[in-house]
Amino acid sequence: MNKRYMLWTNIIVICFVLGIILIFNFVTKSDEIKDNKYLEGKIVSVSDDYVLMDVNGSEYQVYVNTDALSVGDVIKVTYDGNVLETSPMQLIAGKVDILEKKEEIINDDVVTPDNDSNKDNNVDDSNNDGNKENVVIKSESDVIDYFNNLNNEVTSESSFSDKIKNGFITVVDFFFYDGEIKGYKFSELTDKAKIEVMKIAFMIDSKIESKFPTYKEYLSSKYHNFKDEMVSLYMETGSVICDSNSELCMTVKSTFSDIKDFAKIGWSYVKDLIGSGLEKIEDWYLIYSGKN
């Protein structure tokens, strides 16, 4: 009788202890879940072991496996709440969910050559399985259209909307952070297209500055000096063009004549950007002045 009593007593004690352990683990796990935090934002650059993410104008360097991530993806990062207060801020991701993949952009134009003599040199003929109707091409005009559409958007909007903000960030990344628009990087455009999109970019920036003077409050610091950086980029690009193509150099100069009028760019402003680099001053002045 005593042995049976002891057996049941031991069983009850063991069950009680196991119950306490299960309850403790549940509470601990719940606390851990409560402590987890998350951020949602757009990837602006990807490195080997981290991504740079824009979260409402603030930048976060998120350490994570980057194999499946691309510039332009919108992601949700779950982390333990610890953030290193550097510039940009840094954190280690516990989990990453892709909320929106970067749009895979292709031209809708379809090329179906009737014979060899009518082949378009821009068409990829590597696919010889007979499915020529599926071959697509991309065009620089798509990039220019993107800039024109964003320019029109800025003109029509009455507030610095998310659409304008995201478009402006895309433009800055395109020029200075190896970003893509319509399947192109800036370096891949022809010189003529580079001049055109830079002119429209100045229009966009000038309108944003005029209509929404406090827009920088919604953006991280790396987007604040766009005008300075664009003037330098235009001058550097224009100098290279003028060294090799005298006809297009005239377009470089005439286009900047328009830019400096609507963007209110004086020579002293340009000269300050040169700083002590006097070797550039002659080339930049020839573009600024329009002289031969």
Q: What is the mean pLDDT of the chain?
A: 80
Total-model pTM: 0.55
Q: Tell me how far CA of residue 288 lies from CA of 112, 117, 183, 258, in angstroms.
A: 45, 45, 31, 10
Higher-confidence residue of 126 and 225: namely 225
Give residue 271's pLDDT band: very low, low, confident or very high (50, 70, 90): confident
Phi-psi category of residue 290: left, alpha or beta, with phi > 0 → left and psi -120 to 50 → alpha? left
Per-residue model confidence as pLDDT tens digits over 146-159: 999 999 999 998 88
Three-state DSSP at 63 gives strand
Q: DSSP class of residue 57?
A: T
Per-residue model confidence as pLDDT tens digits over 169-205: 999 999 999 999 999 999 999 999 999 999 999 999 9
Residue 47, H or E segment: none
Residue 136 pLDDT greater than 50, yes or no: no
Residue 125 pLDDT greater than 60, yes or no: no
Kindly state the average pLDDT of the residues 212-235.
88
pLDDT of the residue at 36: 64
Q: Tell me how far CA of residue 187 lies from CA of 103, 183, 237, in angstroms.
A: 20, 12, 10
